[in-house]
Amino acid sequence: MNSNERRPTIEAVAARAGVGRGTVSRVINGSPKVSARAREAVEAAIQELGYVPNRAARSLVTSRTDAIALVIPEPESRLLAEPYFADIIRGVSAELSANAGAVDLQLLLILVRTEEERKRLTNFLTARRVDGVLLAAVHDRDPLPDLMEKLDMPTVLGGRRSDRERLSHVQPDNAGGAEAATTHLLERGRRHIATITGPREMEASRSRLRGYQRALAAYGTAVDDASPLVAEADFTEEGGRAAMAELLARQPGLDAVFAASDVMAAGALAALRAAGRRVPEDVAVVGFDDSMIARHTTPPLSSVRQPIEEMGREMVRLLLDEIEERGRSHRRVVLATELVARESS
Amino acid sequence: MNSNERRPTIEAVAARAGVGRGTVSRVINGSPKVSARAREAVEAAIQELGYVPNRAARSLVTSRTDAIALVIPEPESRLLAEPYFADIIRGVSAELSANAGAVDLQLLLILVRTEEERKRLTNFLTARRVDGVLLAAVHDRDPLPDLMEKLDMPTVLGGRRSDRERLSHVQPDNAGGAEAATTHLLERGRRHIATITGPREMEASRSRLRGYQRALAAYGTAVDDASPLVAEADFTEEGGRAAMAELLARQPGLDAVFAASDVMAAGALAALRAAGRRVPEDVAVVGFDDSMIARHTTPPLSSVRQPIEEMGREMVRLLLDEIEERGRSHRRVVLATELVARESS
DNA sequence: CGAGATAGTGGGAGCGCTCCCATACGGCAG
DNA sequence: CTGCCGTATGGGAGCGCTCCCACTATCTCG
């Protein structure tokens, strides 16, 4: 077991089992064309020798890598320092090992921060060092999805760039969640409901805004994108604070806010406190994500829960399908969200 | 660039550059024994052909994988759903790409939940599918570190099993941080200071308890492990709540608590609120980690910050050293912590 | 001016595996 | 008994790379 000793090869197993290389290979790869006797002999030999196949050698001839990459663009990974990130990973990892059959896929984690790193990633993908790619949190202007298409490499996106997205993707029901949150506020008797959106160049932000608008429209109130009730922020706490302050300045009479993320909602809470507004008495607040901080704000934050871990799992399922049977039409999956009401509304 | 076209090999580059295979290989691997003329020709050919070396082939002959694994035992990954997890990864990834030279190491992420997965990991490591391993958050009874020793594989631990740890490891100054927190409470005039520890089978928990005791000893108060001022919890919010309730029952006169994690401190805050104690007027609270939730509790939590991202970076540095020059003595690194005072103390 | 060192180079061997073709071995129908 | 088919099997070829040895060209020094 020492690193100096050479590990046993398939040849050694064959010799020990008294069969040929081909037969051992067949046993390892679960081919049916092996007699019971041979199979047992081989399995015993593998056991005795502690044989483990050399992946590099296999990879060289099959040109499969038995690995997939989870790519996370850095601006996101900061925003998503909350459980989002960890939950996606947990879901991906769980589903990957649930599907582990003869060969189990390894998970490569790639954070992309700098231009330099992006170039390296491009190289890496061009070299086909993985069998497929999971792309978390795509931006509209992200060049990576296009690269994946050009390389014709199995890919699944977390989120999408627009509703015409051609690549397979998985996303929460952003519009539905936002609509539910806004409807909830309406049902509580609020009538002057503002919203803090995420960056408009993200489809998720736009969808959530759309849901908010849809709920209001159903109550007979049309709110366009340029309405003074709509403020854009960048998914950060500070951004949420600033947006809330601006909303209060523009619309002193507002009695509720739907923020497109919990972090921004936390910022909004701070701004409301600074302005002397009570939550929820004066202004009700609902966030999005149902992240850990939602339970720790004062008051605890009502929020739209998205099934993040399940998104990770689903992404893996789609990717495995795509790796298995190439050329299939791409698929899109939308997962339901759920409003969790707490004391802020 | 289509996946059907065969990618160019080193042979193709050699032909195009009008040199031999060996020379191309030398250029790629940065060998100095290449004439400038040859080097230029090869680089041009690589450029023109879009050549990217096949890692599997290289790996097969060098028996290096150019990958390292970051292994996270699952019970942890749940506890560490806070930024901890994400920060470690960010640090690891950053340092890895900072060190990317001719070959850049890939990062494999492996979560270990079940026995099944542990077995698979053992197989994986035995097969030497990675050049080194980063083991986050080790338990005293974790069998993995022993396996790594037996396999003689480069390994760096996040944390350690005891102060006699033989493997390289990186950890925050747990005792120092705890001591600073406790001293801080003493300086604020508190005299009946309790502590909520993590599970005692973790060295980090023990170290923090030690730091707490040391600070009190310096003020002339001896507090042994079985003192009614010491309660053990499991790093969860609920555990913190229960421990705080118990402490209040045992020592109604306490005027401060040092909790060995922010999450437990958050639980303690809830228990104190339930018991009608004001924070910080009646009871001051200090946590550990300075995680995101510390800034969102009511009141905001004083906490001991540990440089988590830096820990990740340092782990990679140690690991790269160990991979480079095998057989070197192992190293240990302790990173300083810093008390961040907020309104809870 | 010859011997020996030095720098660059080409290409054979071989890493451990899968693929696939040739072969062996048993039936079983004619 | 011969011919034929289906099922298992052994092992050659070759995946793309690095290692290393043999070789050439150039330089250095007594």
B89:A110 CB<8 A? no
Return d(Cα A117, Cα B97) in angstroms, integer: 7
Question: Token pair for residue A21?
Answer: 């290389």
> Treating both helix axes as pointing N-terminal to C-terminal, what angle do B203-218 and B174-187 enclose, rounded to 10 degrees?
40
Closest alpha carbon to B95 in B170, B203, B30, B146:
B170
Burial code of A181-196, b = ≥16 C-beta within 10 A, e = fewer? Answer: bbbbbbeeebeebbbb
Closest alpha carbon to A283 in A343, A204, A227, A329:
A343
B11 touches strand D (CB under 7 A): yes
A116:B109 CB<8 A? no
* Nearest beta carbon to residue B90 from set A77, A110, A151: A77
The letter for the amino acid at A107 is L
Return d(Cα A96, Cα B80) in angstroms, integer: 21
Q: In terms of residues, how long is chain A?
A: 345
A81:B86 CB<8 A? yes
Contact B42, B24 (CB under 8 A): yes
B55:A1 CB<8 A? no
Alpha-carbon B21 to chain mean position: 42
> Is CATH 3.40.50.2300 the classification given to domain B174-305?
yes
Q: Strand, coil or helix: what is A297?
A: coil
A28 touches strand D (CB under 7 A): no
* Nearest beta carbon to residue B57 from set A60, A106, A152: A60
Domain A67-171+309-335 classification at class level:
alpha beta
pLDDT in tens, B207-244: 999 999 999 999 988 899 889 999 999 988 899 999 99
A32 touches strand D (CB under 7 A): yes
Burial code of A93-113, b = ≥16 C-beta within 10 A, e = fewer? Answer: bbbbbeeeeeebbbbbbbbbb
Same CATH topology for A10-53 and A67-171+309-335: the answer is no
Q: Which nucleotides of C are covered by protein (CB under 7 A)?
A: 7-21
Task: Supply the pLDDT for residue A77.
Answer: 47
Q: Strand, coil or helix: what is A196?
A: strand
The letter for the amino acid at B215 is A
A35 touches strand D (CB under 7 A): yes
Q: Which residues pair with B288 in a beta bridge?
A: B304
CA of A55 to C1' of C20 (A): 21
CA R_g for chain A: 26
Contacts of residue B320, Cβ cutoff 8 Å, sequence gap at least 6: B99, B105, B132
DSSP state of A65: -
Return d(Cα A113, Cα A74) in angstroms, integer: 5
CA of B19 to C1' of C11 (A): 11
Sign for the CA dihedral angle at A140, A142, A143, A148 comes to negative
CA of B293 to C1' of C10 (A): 64
Other C-beta atoms closer than 10 Å to the C-beta of B200 total 12
Return d(Cα A165, Cα A87) in angstroms, integer: 24
A11 touches strand C (CB under 7 A): yes
Task: Find the helix or strand (DSSP H, E) in which B237 lies.
Answer: helix B237-250
Return d(Cα B248, Cα B271) in angstroms, integer: 9
Return d(Cα A341, Cα A85) in angstroms, integer: 23
Q: In what order do the strands lie in the sheet with B302-305?
A: B230-232, B193-197, B256-259, B284-289, B302-305, B338-340
D15 C1' closest Cα residue: A61
Contact A201, A188 (CB under 8 A): no
Report the topology of domain A10-53: 434 Repressor (Amino-terminal Domain) (1.10.260)
Question: Token pair for residue A6?
Answer: 């050479």
* Nearest beta carbon to residue B55 from set A120, A127, A298: A127
Measure in Å the smallest separation between the Cα of B68 and chain A Cα atoms: 10
CA R_g for chain B: 26
Other C-beta atoms closer than 10 Å to the C-beta of A25 total 17
Q: Would you state the CATH architecture of domain B67-171+309-334?
A: 3-Layer(aba) Sandwich (3.40)
Return d(Cα A187, Cα A193) in angstroms, integer: 12
End-to-end CA distance of chain A: 62
B28 touches strand D (CB under 7 A): yes
D16 C1' closest Cα residue: B57
The letter for the amino acid at A220 is G
Q: What is the mean pLDDT of chain B?
A: 90
CA of B34 to C1' of C9 (A): 9
* Nearest beta carbon to residue A89 from set B82, B93, B109: B109
A38 touches strand D (CB under 7 A): yes
CA of B162 to C1' of D24 (A): 61
pLDDT in tens, B72-127: 887 654 555 556 778 888 899 999 998 876 568 999 999 998 888 888 898 889 88
Burial code of B241-270, b = ≥16 C-beta within 10 A, e = fewer? Answer: bbbbbbbbeebeebbbbbbbbbbbbbbbbb
B37 touches strand D (CB under 7 A): no
Closest alpha carbon to B228 in B259, B268, B258, B193:
B193
Q: How do beta strands B302-305 and B338-340 pair?
A: antiparallel
Task: Supply the pLDDT for residue A76.
Answer: 56
The domain locations on chain B are: 10-53, 67-171+309-334, 174-305
DSSP state of A5: S
pLDDT over 70 for what percent of chain B?
Answer: 94
Contact B145, B161 (CB under 8 A): yes
Return d(Cα A248, Cα A277) in angstroms, integer: 10
End-to-end CA distance of chain B: 62
Task: Supply the pLDDT for residue A235.
Answer: 87
Measure in Å the smallest separation between the Cα of B152 and chain A Cα atoms: 6
Measure in Å the smallest separation between the Cα of B93 and chain A Cα atoms: 7
Measure in Å the smallest separation between the Cα of A276 and chain B Cα atoms: 17
- Chain B residues near residue A6 by CB distance under 8 angstroms: none
Contact A319, A134 (CB under 8 A): yes
Return d(Cα B38, Cα A63) in angstroms, integer: 30
Helix/strand/coil (H, E, C) string of B144-192?
Answer: HHHHHHHHCCCEEEECCCCCCCCCEEEEECHHHHHHHHHHHHHHCCCCC
Question: Token pair for residue A105?
Answer: 């896929």
pLDDT in tens, B9-53: 999 999 999 999 999 999 998 888 888 888 999 999 999 999 999
Q: Which nucleotides of D are covered by protein (CB under 7 A)?
A: 7-21
Measure in Å the smallest separation between the Cα of A24 and chain B Cα atoms: 18
Return d(Cα A335, Cα B93) in angstroms, integer: 30
Question: Token pair for residue B60?
Answer: 């097969």
A97:B120 CB<8 A? yes
Q: Which of A120, A134, A269, A292 should we substitute to test contact with B (largest number of B Cβ atoms within 10 Å)? A: A292
| B4 band by pLDDT with thresholds 50, 70 and 90 | very low
Q: Which residues pair with B111 in a beta bridge?
A: B72
B292:A293 CB<8 A? yes
Low-confidence ranges of chain A (pLDDT < 70): 1-5, 75-83, 101-103, 326-329
Task: Supply the pLDDT for residue B101.
Answer: 65
Q: Before A228, cis peptide (omega within 30)? A: no
Measure in Å the smallest separation between the Cα of A52 and chain B Cα atoms: 6
B3:A82 CB<8 A? no
Task: Supply the pLDDT for residue B83.
Answer: 67
Task: Supply the pLDDT for residue A152.
Answer: 87
Q: Which of A61, A76, A97, A105 should we substitute to test contact with B (largest number of B Cβ atoms within 10 Å)? A: A97
Closest alpha carbon to B308 in B80, B33, B32:
B80
